[in-house]
Copies of this chain bind each other. A is one copy, B any other.
Amino acid sequence: MAQAAPARGFPRTEYEARAERARGLMTAHELDGLLVTSEQHVRYFTGFDSQFWASPTRPWFVIVAREGSLIAVIPEIGGPVMAKTWVDDIRTWPAPVPEDDGVTLLADALSSLPRRFGRIGAEMGPEMVLRMPAADFLRIGEVIAPLAFADGTPVLRAMRSVKSPAEIDKIRHVCRFTSEAFLALPAKLHIGMTEWQACRDMRIEVLRRGADSSPYMMGVAGPGGYDNIIMGPTQKIIEAGDILIIDTGTTFDGYYCDFDRNFAFGAPDDAAKRAHEVVWNATKAGIDAARPGATTTDLWRAMAAVLEEAGSLGNNVGRMGHGLGMQLTEWPSNRPGDDTKLLPGMVLTIEPGMEFAPGRMMVHEENIAITPDGCELLTLRAAPDMPVVE
């Protein structure tokens, strides 16, 4: 509230810089163009911003050519809105037309690109989804041959994992007001409410503080600790002795925060109290280790050392934090073997978790941005002791 919201959208120069960077990476990866179909990539390159992606009916295509300007091949319903972006070459069809939903238009556009390498990068790799009928993708591949689809993931990853200052401003903003909402939340909570009600109250709290939406608002409670971090909220009534975790992916202008807070309902028992201190200290170790040149595996090791020393029984999450930006989770992962070198501009979650007794988990998470000489904490740091709800 004290803090002013950053301007919405980006200046045209930001999109020009993205396209230029993509062209350089395309040359390095021997691609004549990049075909993107998913909400985040269409928005990343064009600025086209719509909730209409919630409807799976119509495919949307944007081509970033290695030589030449962007081409949007989109349903007619999107024409007037795309015309407000910096994209000039907009080709539409009256979707939905399942017989030929943009297939011919798209194949023609791809076939006409200046050709040097004979390859078009597409969203084919890990953490990517081709948001179009797979049968149409295969059909287009046949039509455009000998031009061939290749995996565009390395280009998209390299670009999106390093954020611009304007992107980080948006993430900092949503981290800040969501932190404030978490601080205000205990006053709204009480023993005897449901997990669902606690999450609903948090949803309202972030909306009041400027959130566009909360695509992720997970909440789960259990006696002295929870047994999973992906299922709630349910209609379970939270009782004295329960620990509640709320983990939220809340957005501002298309950028996410992703962090959690734990709440003790009634005074926590010693094991829960200690477990929270352990994950809090592991989070500190992760944050302290985050600087350019360190790797995601280093972050994992720093956190794991604290958890192991405290007698963690392990966890089933597979990693302890990840990239963050236009999606709730992005590449890379803080895990053994990931070995991604941290660069200034990367935004990460630091998320240690452990099963500290059979069926009792404790997880904690903060968000950071890598700076030239370390990192900036984007969230307001949780207190080492859980807030107690009566």
Instruction: Tell me the A residues contacting B by CB distance below 8 Å.
Output: 8, 49-52, 54-58, 75-81, 84, 94-98, 101, 122-135, 137, 151, 196, 200, 203-204, 207-208, 212-218, 227-231, 234-235, 249, 316-319, 322, 327-329, 333, 335
Contacts and interface: CB of A to CB of B under 8 A. Distances in A.
Given A96-B318, A333-B96, A130 B129 contact: yes
12 contacts: A8-B234, A50-B230, A54-B328, A58-B318, A76-B318, A81-B230, A84-B231, A95-B318, A96-B333, A125-B133, A129-B133, A213-B217
Contacts of A128: 56, 133-134
B56 A96 contact: no
Interface core residue of A51, A55, A200, A203 (most chain B CB under 10 Å): A51
Contacts of A234: 8
A335 B96 contact: yes
A243 B79 CA distance: 22
A59 B208 CA distance: 34
Contacts of A123: 134
Contacts of A228: 77, 80-81
Given A77-B318, A318-B76, A57 B129 contact: no
Contacts of A49: 231
B217 A77 contact: no
A227 B98 CA distance: 26
Instruction: State the copy count for this chain.
Output: 2
A78 B134 contact: no
B204 A249 contact: no
A77 B134 CA distance: 27
Given A52-B230, A200-B207, A134 B130 contact: yes
A56 B98 CA distance: 26
Interface core residue of A55, A75, A134 (most chain B CB under 10 Å): A134
A319 B75 CA distance: 12
A131 B37 CA distance: 13
A329 B130 contact: no
A304 B132 CA distance: 29
A113 B52 CA distance: 38
Contact of A319 (B96, B208, B214): B96
A175 to B, nearest CB: 17
A34 to B, nearest CB: 14
Contacts of A79: 316
A327 B123 CA distance: 23
Contact of A329 (B55, B127, B317): B55
Given A8-B235, A328-B54, A129 B126 contact: no
B213 A77 contact: no
A40 to B, nearest CB: 9
A135 B121 CA distance: 12
Nearest to A151: B135
Contacts of A50: 230-231
Given A57-B126, A96-B333, 12 more contacts: A49-B231, A51-B216, A51-B218, A52-B218, A55-B328, A77-B229, A80-B316, A84-B231, A125-B135, A134-B134, A200-B208, A215-B215
Contacts of A101: 126
Would you list the 10 A-B pairs with minimal beta carbon distance, nearest first? A55-B329, A52-B230, A124-B134, A98-B126, A76-B316, A124-B135, A54-B216, A54-B328, A81-B231, A50-B230
Nearest to A256: B54
A190 to B, nearest CB: 17
Contacts of A137: 134
A214 B213 contact: yes
